[in-house]
Structure 1
Amino acid sequence: MATPVVTKTAWKLQEIVAHASNVSSLVLGKASGRLLATGGDDCRVNLWSINKPNCIMSLTGHTSPVESVRLNTPEELIVAGSQSGSIRVWDLEAAKILRTLMGHKANICSLDFHPYGEFVASGSQDTNIKLWDIRRKGCVFRYRGHSQAVRCLRFSPDGKWLASAADDHTVKLWDLTAGKMMSEFPGHTGPVNVVEFHPNEYLLASGSSDRTIRFWDLEKFQVVSCIEGEPGPVRSVLFNPDGCCLYSGCQDSLRVYGWEPERCFDVVLVNWGKVADLAICNDQLIGVAFSQSNVSSYVVDLTRVTRTGTVAQDPVQDSRNLTQQLPNPSIPLRRIYERPSTTCSKPQRVKHNSESERRSPSSEEEREERESQAEIQNAEDYNEIFQPKNSISRTPPRRSEPFPAPPEDDTATAKEASKPSPPMDVQVPVPNLEVPSRPPVITPTPAPKSEPAIIPATRNEPIGLKASDFLPAVKIPQQAELVDEDAMSQIRKGHDTMCVVLTSRHKNLDTVRAVWTTGDIKTSVDSAVAINDLSVVVDLLNIVNQKASLWKLDLCTTVLPQIEKLLQSKYESYVQTGCTSLKLILQRFLPLITDILAAPPSVGVDISREERLHKCRLCYKQLKSISGLVKTKSSLSGRHGSAFRELHLLMASLD
């Protein structure tokens, strides 16, 4: 039988359930294009081989959702940052935790490995960028300059610079040796989500929620060109390995761009949704996207994609393009990076590190490292991919063959260069909510040593500060009292960060209040949940709990998942609010839910009854999920223990 001719340009490779809860981050290994790392709300980092269904390895140790992950170039190390601000580095070949890095005061939004030295850069919701020496488990330098969350970090190919993109609409370039900002690139009118260095030339690309991609000359420090009209926010871009073009992952397509002049070479329809990362292997582009707990992978055959302006389907357009080409396209317009001759060379360490935070590991960090594990789930795939470090070469089968396309032709994924995709992914600014509620919570419970005390709103924890939190964590053999001026100087160091925290929370509460004034309680709660800020949810629930008549079955379906998070919090105010809300729901709605579910099916069509039945089923499922947690905590002593025991008795009818 003759082999069918494959005519597909793009196709979906597979879809897997990557985590027990929502996936919050993922990254592809850029060297192979075959290794995938995912981070989830279940606080785990899972490793996968693209196009294989089973998890290779599961990394545990984080105690809050994993917000950012990154693989190093040889794909031997992985770094993961959590919602609490902690960072962990694992050695994949040795299958063990390598380092725990503490110091950020908020969510870790971005990470990157230095291409040659043993350094990691991290960007956070606290607006700081930190450079870590993972050999010594210390912060080499802290870079300040952004006023909002740092969403993306990339080292230059020669390892001398670091580019950062942030929600403050700016891109900044940092000199690692000098330890200062080289240049700032303004121009974007929305949050900047991604930056990428050209693989050879002094050129930087940035993608923003304002639906533009800008190219920056790193010799003249000015904009080269700007591509406008993207269908939605730009989240993922990738240069071709030879630097001939830039790929942009849109909501429903892959777009191929040139920048001198700016133009679109090709558009390939790919229904991958919000593609989160791109990689290239064997002349195939791999794209991955996540939705809830699922991760999907897609393939685009680059041999069927136009990647330069020298080939065009329209002769008239072709002649126009050729007039704009360089006499010799192989000669770059800009300076080329000078890479080290060997990967053993390390970047020069910063000498004037007045802001250095290097310190000896605390017992708390050592305990966390002991509790962090790398669990091998699939020994066969693990041995195939991660050979011993003393191996002569790492050339496992995952690098060899391209992914085969399905034999059937599918016109829905065919290449279409002339028809731009309709805008499908419009990013609406998240409303900032404020309920007429209490002032910021000051909890008397001190934060654990391993967690910083300054906590921005998006970290989903209340703010609790004391003067000692700003002082260096150094054991002084002889207790000496600090002079007032010195103590105030230490406290002022956290002032800017605290202002960012309080400003963010104020905006969030303003948004909730705007919805609240309309009288739609359900929409108010939905908006608070959408902000992903538990402190706002707590404030809102404290208002709603005071008036039981505000509660409806609709409200329960939205609030119950948030209650489960509150009951697991280490902050008393959160647990107390969660217990109060759950008790109210159980007393008012549990008898109704059980009665409706136990009733015989109705005859005929009753839409309102069907909707009520659906809500009851959803609430019952959520309550069953919470019941195990309540049962576990009912054995606690103290005030919370008695509250959980009461809840456990109220939930007895669920069994």
Structure 2
Amino acid sequence: MATPVVTKTAWKLQEIVAHASNVSSLVLGKASGRLLATGGDDCRVNLWSINKPNCIMSLTGHTSPVESVRLNTPEELIVAGSQSGSIRVWDLEAAKILRTLMGHKANICSLDFHPYGEFVASGSQDTNIKLWDIRRKGCVFRYRGHSQAVRCLRFSPDGKWLASAADDHTVKLWDLTAGKMMSEFPGHTGPVNVVEFHPNEYLLASGSSDRTIRFWDLEKFQVVSCIEGEPGPVRSVLFNPDGCCLYSGCQDSLRVYGWEPERCFDVVLVSWGKVADLAVCNDQLIGVAFSQSNVSSYVVDLTRVTRTGTVAQDPVQDSRPLAQQPPPPSAPLRRIYERPSTACGKPQRVKQNSESERRSPSSEDDRDERESRAEIQNAEEYNEIFQPKNSISRTPPRRSEPFPAPPEDDTATAKEAAKPSPPTDSQFPVPNLEVLPRPLVGTPTPAPKAEPAIIPATRNEPIGLKASDFLPAVKIPQQAELVDEDAMSQIRKGHDTMCVVLTSRHKNLDTVRAVWTTGDIKTSVDSAVAINDLSVVVDLLNIVNQKASLWKLDLCTTVLPQIEKLLQSKYESYVQTGCTSLKLILQRFLPLITDILAAPPSVGVDISREERLLKCRLCYKQLKSISGLVKSKSGLSGRHGSAFRELHLLMASLD
């Protein structure tokens, strides 16, 4: 008797090597869910068809890493922004560069296409939002209001509004016609990473690093509900096409939410790590994630997911009954968007003060466009997806059948689906295996390579500690395979050293904790510094960074020399902590320090003022010392370069 085939609820579809260096950004085409664009530290934008192994097209022209990419709704245009602040728009059907847009002074963090007109919005680390007319190659308007990097931009479905999310913990809504801010939505206590409009109703969702998702009524301009307790920072959300629920891509899981009242309909385990983007097509949710130069795609069968009604009794179980299809949504509680039948008119132009908005296309821009290329890598797939514009219809794989799931009991099929596809083009080499998780058993050891400048932090690993740092180097013949006994023998060689280090660290942390219980934060930090163990300082700063109110001016004088050491560390976690602490100090105390130092001398004796003045002078001297280091590292690529560039902007007043 044949065994019935049981399909999966979620499965890994594919893993590809997307770039010759680290992937820095990616986006899915929302209309099809089948088109994927990736941006890399190699300054390229590559185009892929989901579940196909080969690159369709490679777009060149940027001279710095690509930080943000976005496809327009018909998936005919793509826009990419770089670390240098430049923006390039390509016509995918014509396979050529369309526009080069210059004007931002720092990283492009977010981009979005207007749903009806030929406009692009860009958000940058320079805190500005710009609206570009890509037909006329010019900036239509600049929106000012955020005080930190703008992480996400979204146009409303009717094309009248623009929502922005930023590191300053706020969400803002802009009226494109009036050229001004309509409303600001406070409430998040951490950087806001993503915003998304409801497809039909006047409703906006925002996700933040404070692990909450907030829903905002766009008629009353107030919060509707707040979902708390997300397992990590919220970076990717998506409304179901009919608006019945919201999907949140969490760490290794998909959560399905309702908002009136706030509730969780379902939780689906998906081993995608930190998912970067989501799309829905053919009753399947597609999720994509990246790590180093690899990009992985995953599928969730939405016919097996509860999207309305009550919360599933045990959503974590692998074998649960099929959820019934969600019923047609009832009458909306809010106003519905009125979509125009024709392309929208150009937004009203108001008085401009920036030179970048008055500048005309230059010969330098023309040269940039001549040097930009759209190289077709796979002509067959390109012709299938991007037919000539005068064709009656485009029939790319966007409307093909749903992705088939491997049977749960067919392990060979499942492994084959999860296996990376080898690139066929020589420009996409195999990634550096030195930075990937290293198998312990049964795998040949790769040849040793030069140590990277920054050692990547690993999830669930003690801050500042890596087992490989304490293991002696063992030379093994390239072809020899390790047996279990040999592998365990290697691990034991470093075990005693690791135990000594961890025991010493635990003792030091107990010493600091004893002081911490007295409530004297300054003395606690002094004791951690006196121990002369940077790992203890990092652990303590990670706690203090969570509550900005703990920071005082005298604490800065102690911490700043330690921050300088952390910024020069080879450990990624140390650098991250140092950047976070320095950013807090600059935001809270730099205006105070500069004001006190610039104030005229007081008449008479004011001991408290003199003490504060001495502390400000010491902090200023320390910050000046650090500013040179920050400036030298602001040219790095990747997220470290982004962090240092942001710090460099914050420290501009020191000059």
TM-score with structure 2 setting the length = 0.62
1:43 and 1:66 in contact (8 A); partners too: yes
Q: Deviations over 1:282-333 (max 9, x none)?
A: 0000000000000000000000000001685599999999999999951101
1:169 and 1:186 in contact (8 A); partners too: yes
Q: Which moved more, 1:416-425 or 1:29-38?
A: 416-425
CA drift at 1:396: 2.2
Q: Deviations over 1:332-374 (max 9, x none)?
A: 0100000012347665666889888143211111111000000
Indicate the SS of the match to 1:416. helix
Q: Which runs of 4+ in 1 moved over 3 A?
A: 1-4, 310-329, 342-356, 409-655
Against the structure 1 CA distance between its residues 469 and 335, is the aligned structure 2 distance closer, same or farther, given a 3 Å change threshold? farther
2:179 and 2:349 in contact (8 A); partners too: no
* Distance in 1, Cα, partners of 2:354 & 2:497: 19
CA drift at 1:97: 0.2
Indicate the SS of the match to 1:238. strand
Against the structure 1 CA distance between its residues 388 and 410, is the aligned structure 2 distance closer, same or farther, given a 3 Å change threshold? same
CA drift at 1:517: 24
Alignment of 1:342-381 (within 5 A): 342-343=342-343, 357-381=357-381
2:17 and 2:422 in contact (8 A); partners too: no
Against the structure 1 CA distance between its residues 162 and 556, is the aligned structure 2 distance closer, same or farther, given a 3 Å change threshold? closer
Q: Which moved more, 1:218-227 or 1:634-643?
A: 634-643
CA drift at 1:20: 0.2
2:406 and 2:414 in contact (8 A); partners too: no
Q: Which residue of 2 aligns with 1:519?
A: 519
Gaps of 5+ in 2: none
Against the structure 1 CA distance between its residues 300 and 433, is the aligned structure 2 distance closer, same or farther, given a 3 Å change threshold? closer
CA drift at 1:423: 35
CA drift at 1:6: 3.4
CA drift at 1:515: 20
Q: Which moved more, 1:308-317 or 1:45-54?
A: 308-317
Q: Deviations over 1:118-147 (max 9, x none)?
A: 000000000000000000110000000000
Q: Which moved more, 1:4-13 or 1:46-55?
A: 4-13
1:441 and 1:463 in contact (8 A); partners too: no
CA drift at 1:408: 2.5
2:195 and 2:205 in contact (8 A); partners too: yes
Q: Which moved more, 1:205-214 or 1:486-495?
A: 486-495
Against the structure 1 CA distance between its residues 356 and 341, is the aligned structure 2 distance closer, same or farther, given a 3 Å change threshold? farther
CA drift at 1:210: 0.3
CA drift at 1:68: 0.1
Indicate the SS of the match to 1:182. strand
Indicate the SS of the match to 2:445. coil
Q: Deviations over 1:208-261 (max 9, x none)?
A: 000000000000000000000000000000000000000000011000000000
Against the structure 1 CA distance between its residues 452 and 480, is the aligned structure 2 distance closer, same or farther, given a 3 Å change threshold? same
* Distance in 1, Cα, partners of 2:38 & 2:87: 15
Against the structure 1 CA distance between its residues 329 and 545, is the aligned structure 2 distance closer, same or farther, given a 3 Å change threshold? closer
Indicate the SS of the match to 1:316. coil
1:7 and 1:409 in contact (8 A); partners too: no
Q: Deviations over 1:92-126 (max 9, x none)?
A: 00000000000000000000000000000000000
Against the structure 1 CA distance between its residues 419 and 524, is the aligned structure 2 distance closer, same or farther, given a 3 Å change threshold? farther
Against the structure 1 CA distance between its residues 470 and 37, is the aligned structure 2 distance closer, same or farther, given a 3 Å change threshold? farther
Against the structure 1 CA distance between its residues 388 and 416, is the aligned structure 2 distance closer, same or farther, given a 3 Å change threshold? closer
Q: Which moved more, 1:611-620 or 1:579-588?
A: 611-620
Against the structure 1 CA distance between its residues 450 and 641, is the aligned structure 2 distance closer, same or farther, given a 3 Å change threshold? closer
CA drift at 1:497: 49
1:169 and 1:191 in contact (8 A); partners too: yes
Q: Which residue of 2 aligns with 1:441?
A: 441
* Distance in 2, Cα, partners of 1:413 & 1:602: 79
1:434 and 1:511 in contact (8 A); partners too: no
Q: Deviations over 1:419-450 (max 9, x none)?
A: 99999999999999999999999999999999
Q: Which moved more, 1:328-337 or 1:207-216?
A: 328-337
1:11 and 1:405 in contact (8 A); partners too: yes
CA drift at 1:399: 1.5
Q: Which moved more, 1:263-272 or 1:402-411?
A: 402-411
Q: Which moved more, 1:422-431 or 1:117-126?
A: 422-431
Q: Which moved more, 1:214-223 or 1:314-323?
A: 314-323
Give aligned pairs, total.
Answer: 655
Against the structure 1 CA distance between its residues 370 and 594, is the aligned structure 2 distance closer, same or farther, given a 3 Å change threshold? same
Q: Deviations over 1:177-210 (max 9, x none)?
A: 0000000000000000000000000000000000
Q: Deviations over 1:361-400 (max 9, x none)?
A: 1111111100000000000000000011111111223312
* Distance in 1, Cα, partners of 2:359 & 2:264: 50
Q: Which moved more, 1:601-610 or 1:312-321?
A: 601-610
* Distance in 2, Cα, partners of 1:638 & 1:542: 22
* Distance in 2, Cα, partners of 1:243 & 1:552: 46
CA drift at 1:407: 1.7
Q: Which residue of 2 aligns with 1:57?
A: 57
Q: Deviations over 1:62-99 (max 9, x none)?
A: 00000000000000000000000000000000000000
CA drift at 1:5: 2.4
Q: Deviations over 1:7-57 (max 9, x none)?
A: 210000000000000000000000000000000000000000000000000
Against the structure 1 CA distance between its residues 382 and 559, is the aligned structure 2 distance closer, same or farther, given a 3 Å change threshold? farther
* Distance in 2, Cα, partners of 1:501 & 1:350: 63
2:193 and 2:207 in contact (8 A); partners too: yes
* Distance in 2, Cα, partners of 1:570 & 1:381: 43
Against the structure 1 CA distance between its residues 517 and 281, is the aligned structure 2 distance closer, same or farther, given a 3 Å change threshold? same
Against the structure 1 CA distance between its residues 555 and 432, is the aligned structure 2 distance closer, same or farther, given a 3 Å change threshold? farther
CA drift at 1:608: 54
Q: Which moved more, 1:284-293 or 1:471-480?
A: 471-480
* Distance in 2, Cα, partners of 1:329 & 1:623: 57
Against the structure 1 CA distance between its residues 142 and 579, is the aligned structure 2 distance closer, same or farther, given a 3 Å change threshold? closer
CA drift at 1:58: 0.2
Indicate the SS of the match to 1:647. helix
1:8 and 1:409 in contact (8 A); partners too: no
Against the structure 1 CA distance between its residues 109 and 572, is the aligned structure 2 distance closer, same or farther, given a 3 Å change threshold? closer
Against the structure 1 CA distance between its residues 601 and 258, is the aligned structure 2 distance closer, same or farther, given a 3 Å change threshold? same
Indicate the SS of the match to 1:588. helix
CA drift at 1:469: 47
1:433 and 1:514 in contact (8 A); partners too: no
* Distance in 1, Cα, partners of 2:650 & 2:155: 55
1:445 and 1:571 in contact (8 A); partners too: no
Against the structure 1 CA distance between its residues 629 and 280, is the aligned structure 2 distance closer, same or farther, given a 3 Å change threshold? same
CA drift at 1:536: 22
2:110 and 2:123 in contact (8 A); partners too: yes
* Distance in 1, Cα, partners of 2:424 & 2:345: 46
Against the structure 1 CA distance between its residues 592 and 78, is the aligned structure 2 distance closer, same or farther, given a 3 Å change threshold? closer
1:365 and 1:450 in contact (8 A); partners too: no
Indicate the SS of the match to 2:247. strand
Against the structure 1 CA distance between its residues 565 and 19, is the aligned structure 2 distance closer, same or farther, given a 3 Å change threshold? farther
1:455 and 1:463 in contact (8 A); partners too: no
* Distance in 1, Cα, partners of 2:500 & 2:136: 30
Against the structure 1 CA distance between its residues 190 and 653, is the aligned structure 2 distance closer, same or farther, given a 3 Å change threshold? closer
* Distance in 1, Cα, partners of 2:593 & 2:552: 12
Indicate the SS of the match to 1:24. strand
2:239 and 2:246 in contact (8 A); partners too: yes
CA drift at 1:499: 47
* Distance in 2, Cα, partners of 1:176 & 1:471: 59
Indicate the SS of the match to 1:428. coil
Against the structure 1 CA distance between its residues 177 and 648, is the aligned structure 2 distance closer, same or farther, given a 3 Å change threshold? closer
- Identity of aligned pairs, percent? 96
* Distance in 2, Cα, partners of 1:545 & 1:260: 34
* Distance in 1, Cα, partners of 2:130 & 2:442: 28
Q: Which moved more, 1:580-589 or 1:187-196?
A: 580-589
* Distance in 1, Cα, partners of 2:414 & 2:442: 57
